[in-house]
Amino acid sequence: MPDPAPTAAPDLPRPAHLWTVAEADARIAGLADLLGRLREWAERLDEVRAGYARLVGFWGREIDAVDHPDHAVALRLGNEQQNLARRLEEGLAALAAEGIEVKDLATGLVDFYALVDGELAYLCWQRGEPAVRFWHTLTGGFRSRRPILDRPARVPSGLPGRS
């Protein structure tokens, strides 16, 4: 019989997936590539927003006139901004649906939901690290992360019946 899902308090997240260390390690290769694309989209989105803001700041509502010389540029920037924002939101939502929280795109910091001593916690990984080797509580954050290897019994390597 499969293990029942942990009962979360009403204010705690209810992730669709609880990760084991082995599963998280297997996921980081593809995750590193995806995070790189998401980071590029976020950086481009910042550039596009700044360019659009400069145009609107300079021309004001005049930029909306079809015969305005920069109208086409403003339209292109506006469309690109919407497209990038949508792609970024969809990518982050897809990761969240996997039970992965992106904490910082610039540094490639992500957390995988897991059970530690029967409590909901995070397995923590950052771009450049060879594997998932840290964990922390939901409220602890990066500064409070602890090595998994120091306490191998705390984070299960497998959860029978979990998907």
Name the phi and psi angles at 87, rounded to 5: -65, -40
- Evaluate whether residue 63 is within a structural domain: yes
- Evaluate whether residue 5 is within a structural domain: no
Label residue 148 by pLDDT band (50, 70, 90): confident
How many domains, in total, are found in the chain? 1
Label residue 108 by pLDDT band (50, 70, 90): very high
Does residue 134 carry a pLDDT above 70? Answer: yes
How many whole angstroms separate alpha carbon 115 and alpha carbon 137? 10
Nearest CA among 105, 94, 91, 114 for reference residue 25: 114
- Tokens 């910042």 sit on residue: 46
Whole-number pLDDT of residue 151: 47
Label residue 160 by pLDDT band (50, 70, 90): very low
Label residue 12 by pLDDT band (50, 70, 90): low
Residue 100: give the domain boundaries: 21-147
Report the DSSP beta bridge partners of residue 101: 111
The reported pTM is: 0.77
- Evaluate whether residue 16 is within a structural domain: no
